[in-house]
């Protein structure tokens, strides 16, 4: 409930010049749940790139006459960002644009590299100057470097993929081509579709493909590069099969929208399954099952279907809280959770309540939600979590932070139950996760510590900002590289 992912990416290529900015706007709108900090669109108007990027929600950044003033074009790439690595530096807005000797490129990225520090240090030693503190600029640099050596942008992307390690779903455009690529593990989702008039769209999730009136074709395979141009679509799969697929299991549990389909599996169906399994493994006598909005709702429905306990609406979320909402600080007695969520007294008063949520990270939010329900008259509150306990940080583009912040690393389940004030607590079992993905391979490193890549040498979320501070203090990052 309080984990965030870094980004949503979107790309479009049309047979004739048209309002690709508006298509991207609607695509980004559908991906807003993946990032609310900043967003941007770059339009390709016959080889001339025109962009607009800023802090804020899609509706805020492209308000007024911004969108109508963007030119028509045949291509666009777009990005919605939640800042984890790199923080809220304005320079970190995406898509990143690069002008180089052979042309130009705009790049949007979702994920985090696990070798970003090494790659960036190597580039800096050869004279590269970075303007941002995000991994994405490193990717842009490497692709550009390769592009200067090879005859095509797709060849440059292919060669760059031999260097990059970790999570990356990319959408980029050159003056002539739209290209998308998914890392060989397939950590982050990426899919593509086509409209009736022959316009291709690429997006982090299928909900964005449908939002712009396109039919989903399929997911970009792990390791695959798709090249869209006037000549049609070409797939390069020389990276396929080199790695075992490791799609982030949390895309099903929490990150993605329930109406999305990832790698052929419905996110909604996967969450219903999680709720049903939870009801079997952690049964409880109760009067009503409620879900924590929004990502706990589907699993709560599954719990209700399996247990026979009626499903109810027990919590209402304030849907109008955007980026501008500032959580009350310690100096005020207002509770941020109370402003974001309200209990429905009618549903929970004098009842034994099962509260289903997707995760517990630090425990603070869950404790406040349980209290909200008790204050509204709930007789008992039984918490059921549709994921296993978080025991390890994530290095692949989410803000599941260091062990010291994870409540499950410090306390036993009965202790957590006491801390959050619940009558009972049950987690989804790690051994059942395969049932959520149709037995597809997935990453579950934040639950079991089994990382598919090597662990980054510097795991701080602000590692590049910290480097700037360290360099100013005289640290020599050239040593030992």
Catalytic pick among 7, 39, 417, 443: 7
Give 113's contacts (C-beta < 8 A, 6+ positions apart). 119, 135, 138, 139, 164, 165, 166, 167, 168, 456
E strand or H helix at 153 = helix 153-161
Interface contacts to ligand SF4, rule CB under 6 A: 187, 248-250, 394, 396, 398, 400, 443-446
Is 7 one of the annotated active-site residues of the chain?
A: yes
d(CA 396, CA 393): 9
Distance CA 135, CA 465 (A): 12
Query: Of the two residues 270 and 444, which places its CB atom closer to ligand SF4 in the complex?
Result: 444
Rounded Cα gap, residues 7 and 37, in angstroms? 9
What lies within 8 Å, CB to CB, of 480 at 6+ separation is none
117 or 445: CB nearest ligand SF4: 445
Task: Tell me the closest approach of the beta carbon of residue 442 to ligand SF4, in angstroms.
Answer: 7
Rounded to a whole number of angstroms, the minimum distance from the CB of residue 322 to ligand SF4 is: 24
DSSP secondary structure letter of residue 35 = -
Q: What is the 3-state secondary structure (H, E, C) of 203-272?
A: ECCHHHHHHCCCEEEEECCCCCEEEEECCEEEEECCCCCCCCCCEECHHHHHHCCCCCEECCEEHHHHHH
Nearest distance, CB of residue 295 and ligand SF4, angstroms: 13
Identify which of residues 311 and 447 has a Cβ nearer to ligand SF4 in the complex: 447
What is the C-alpha to C-alpha distance for residues 54 and 182, in angstroms, rounded to an integer?
Answer: 26
Specify the DSSP element, H or E, that contains 178. strand 178-182
Which residue, 139 or 406, is less far from ligand SF4 as judged by CB? 406
Burial 16-31 (b: 16+ CB within 10 A, else e): eeebbbbbbbbbbbbb
Classify residue 97 as exposed, middle or buried by CB count within 10 Å of its CB (0-12, 13-18, 19+): middle
Closest to ligand SF4 by CB, 337 vs 433, is 433
Q: How far is the CB of 255 from ligand SF4 (least distance, A)?
A: 8
Q: Give the DSSP letter string of 366-396.
A: HHHHHHHHHHTT-SEEEEEESSPPP-S---S
Q: Which is nearer to ligand SF4, 51 or 110 (CB)?
A: 110
Nearest approach in angstroms of CB 37 to ligand SF4 is 19
Q: How far is the CB of 105 from ligand SF4 (least distance, A)?
A: 27
Catalytic residue positions, numbered: 7
């Amino acid at each position: 409930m309080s984990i965030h992912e870094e980004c949503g990416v979107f790309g479009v290529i049309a047979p004739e010049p048209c309002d690709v900015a508006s298509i991207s706007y609607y695509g980004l709108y559908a991906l807003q749940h993946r990032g609310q900090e900043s967003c941007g669109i770059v339009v390709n108007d016959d080889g001339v790139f025109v962009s607009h990027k800023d802090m804020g929600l899609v509706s805020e950044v492209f308000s007024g006459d911004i969108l109508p003033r963007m030119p028509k074009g045949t291509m666009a790439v777009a990005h919605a960002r939640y800042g984890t690595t790199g923080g809220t530096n304005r320079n970190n807005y995406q898509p990143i644009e690069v002008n180089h000797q052979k042309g130009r490129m705009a790049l949007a990225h979702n994920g985090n590299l696990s070798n970003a520090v090494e790659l960036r240090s190597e580039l800096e030693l050869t004279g590269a100057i970075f303007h941002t503190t995000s991994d994405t600029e490193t990717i842009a640099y490497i692709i550009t470097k390769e592009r200067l050596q090879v005859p095509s942008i797709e060849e440059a992307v292919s060669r760059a993929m031999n260097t990059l390690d970790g999570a990356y779903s990319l959408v980029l455009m050159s003056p002539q081509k739209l290209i998308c690529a998914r890392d060989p593990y397939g950590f982050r989702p990426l899919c593509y579709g086509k409209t009736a008039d022959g316009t291709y769209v690429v997006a982090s999730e299928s909900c964005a493909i449908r939002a712009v009136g396109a039919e989903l074709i399929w997911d970009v395979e792990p390791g695959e590069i798709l090249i869209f141009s006037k000549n049609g679509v070409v797939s390069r799969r020389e990276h396929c099969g080199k790695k075992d697929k490791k799609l982030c299991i949390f895309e099903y549990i929490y990150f993605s929208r329930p109406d999305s389909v990832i790698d052929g599996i419905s996110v909604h169906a996967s969450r219903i399954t999680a709720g049903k399994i939870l009801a079997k493994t952690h049964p409880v006598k109760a009067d009503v099952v409620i879900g924590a909005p929004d990502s706990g709702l589907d699993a709560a429905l599954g719990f209700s279907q399996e247990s026979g306990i009626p499903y109810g609406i027990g919590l209402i979320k304030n849907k109008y809280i955007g980026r501008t909402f500032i959580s009350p600080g310690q100096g005020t007695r207002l509770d941020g959770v109370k402003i974001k969520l309200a209990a429905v007294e009618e549903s929970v008063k004098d009842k034994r309540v099962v509260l289903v949520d997707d995760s517990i990270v630090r425990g603070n939010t869950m404790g406040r939600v349980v209290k909200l329900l008790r204050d509204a008259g709930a007789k008992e509150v039984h918490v059921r979590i549709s994921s296993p306990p978080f025991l390890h940080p994530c290095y692949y583009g989410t803000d599941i932070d260091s062990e010291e912040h994870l409540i499950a690393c410090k306390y036993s389940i009965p202790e957590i139950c006491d801390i959050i004030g619940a009558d009972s607590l049950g987690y989804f079992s790690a051994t059942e996760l395969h049932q959520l993905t149709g037995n597809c391979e997935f990453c579950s490193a934040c639950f079991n510590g089994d990382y598919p890549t090597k662990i980054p040498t510097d795991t701080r979320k602000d590692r590049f900002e910290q480097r700037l501070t360290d360099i100013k203090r005289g640290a020599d990052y050239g040593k030992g590289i």
